[in-house]
Structure 1
Amino acid sequence: MQLKGENMPNAFRSIGLISRATSVIGNRLFRHDDLQNSQFIYLMRIIENPGITQTALADQLHVDPSTCLRTVRKLIAHQYVARQADAHNKKLRPLVATTEGQALYPELQAYEQHIIAIGTHGLTPGEQLILEELLAKVATNVREYQDTQNDD
């Protein structure tokens, strides 16, 4: 059985390489802040979404809830993140960045922009837009497929 897109393995390998390389570079860059194993990505999302729940964070990052829990605990231990009490629902413990976590955001954001600039070097603005649109479609397709696999 031949699947549609079967002749595109290099595109998906490239996506994997980009993901791994940016994580390795980021882990090395933020090692001095004790942010390892892509914790900087979690911290960015918490800063960008104050009050996000751990469940919503795991969904947004497409990671296993237990992986998210371990990472959030490490961010709390390093005093980059804190859990708040929810006034309406005692079971919810929204996540917020501490002052220390907020202080890292400009450096995290600069890294993200630098990696984007490196990755899109030589592309015209039109090509950058096409790339963004195509990757969004691929991400949606994979997310939808993942959702069908989780129903089992």
Structure 2
Amino acid sequence: MPNSFRSIGLIARATAVIGNQLFTSDDLQNSQFIYLMRIVETPGITQTQLANQLHVDPSTCLRTVRKLIAHQYVARQTDEHNKKQRPLVATAQGQALYPELQAYEQHILAIGTHGLSAGEQLILEELLGKVANNIQEYQTTQNE
């Protein structure tokens, strides 16, 4: 079983490295492309929600969001109802890059599941979902 978690770690690191190399020409480094994808997919997401969704430290999220803003991929809006919240939205430049990011994600997914039947892919998705849920629940209990 320990090899399963090592495999999950390898997959995460390798896909991040490949993505970082692929999107360096767009000034996206250190997995910034993952943040941009989530912001495009969830317009108006707050920085706190983004950090929680990606399971990263809030200060790491802040640094990454600042870099995305500096490269004009993301902008902060003002929430009319809650002035303390500054929802994040993708700029036109960020939106324009999204199809490439999505294509990369689909390409990596196709490579990773090559040779698996449709049924095996469904089982893999279900089992990984359960493992992720278990880890999230454990993390929640540790933070209490």
Matched residues in 1 for 2:143 and 2:11: separation?
26
Aligned partner of 2:96: which letter? A
- Once the two structures are TM-superposed, the CA of residue 149 in structure 1 deviates from its matched residue by 0.9
Q: TM-score normalised to the size of structure 2?
A: 1.00
Aligned partner letter, 1:124: S
Flag as ranges the 4+ runs of structure 1 deviating above 3 A: none
Q: Which residue of 1 aligns with 2:87?
A: 94
Task: Answer yes or no: is 1:65 the counterpart of 2:58.
Answer: yes
Shift in Å at residue 61 of structure 1?
0.3
What SS does structure 2 have at the residue aligned with 1:122?
coil
Structure 2, unmatched stretches of 5+, are: none
Match of 1:143 in 2: 136
2:97 maps to: 104
Question: Alignment partner of 1:47: what SS?
Answer: helix
Q: Give runs of aligned pairs for residues 1-152 of structure 1, distance below 5 A.
A: 8-151=1-144
Indicate the percent of aligned positions where both proteins have the same amino acid.
83
Letter in 2 for 1:132: E
Which protein is bigger by CA-based radius of gyration?
A: 1
Q: How many residues align?
A: 144
Q: How many Å separate the matches in 1 of 2:108 and 2:143?
A: 32
Q: What secondary structure is seen at the aligned counterpart in 2 of 1:17?
A: helix
Measured in 2, the distance between the counterparts of 1:13 and 1:71 equals 26
1:116-142, CA deviations, whole angstroms, 9 ceiling, x for partnerless residues?
A: 000000000000000000000000000
**SS, match of residue 96 in structure 1:** strand
In 2, the alpha carbon distance for the partners of 1:66 and 1:108 equals 24
| CA deviation after TM superposition for structure 1 residue 72, in Å | 0.2
